[in-house]
Structure 1
């Protein structure tokens, strides 16, 4: 069972393992394609320590880039 947040309805949904459509292992994260019981579409959820670190680095670099481009 997975607990996901649907980006369409913004509700938390408990999802059975059988609703996982695919799993992709990337160097920085694992991507799960999950069929959402709330809206019926397939959402991709990414997880992993390296993914979070890379996202934090990008977020920290973004304000500096915006300040220098102005």
Structure 2
């Protein structure tokens, strides 16, 4: 089951898996073509995020030390 928002009616709809018409895997996202029960048309929903480059990953993973707490 998927919870989608129809862009035509702006209604939230709970959609069964059998209404998924296609799944396309892209380098930056996954695209789902879903038949909308509210308006009857097929909408494309994209999910995912861009992969960071391997050079930026170590810098992003570097943790800062937590600040010291003062004793009362």
Query: TM-score with structure 1 length normalisation?
Result: 0.71
2:18 aligned with 1:3: no
2:46 aligned with 1:46: yes
Residue 28 of structure 1 and its aligned partner are, at CA, apart by 0.3
Q: Which has the higher helix share?
A: 1
User: Quick one: distance in 2 between partners of 1:50 and 1:37?
Assistant: 30
User: Quick one: distance in 2 between partners of 1:33 and 1:6?
Assistant: 12
Residue 48 of structure 1 and its aligned partner are, at CA, apart by 0.1
Provide structure 1 residue ranges, at least 5 long, that are not aligned to the other structure: 54-70
Provide structure 2 residue ranges, at least 5 long, that are not aligned to the other structure: 53-72
Structure with larger Rg:
2
Query: TM-score with structure 2 length normalisation?
Result: 0.69
Q: Report runs of 4+ in structure 1 exceeding 6 Å deviation.
A: none
User: Quick one: distance in 2 between partners of 1:23 and 1:17?
Assistant: 12
Residue 20 of structure 1 and its aligned partner are, at CA, apart by 0.0
Residue 50 of structure 1 and its aligned partner are, at CA, apart by 1.5
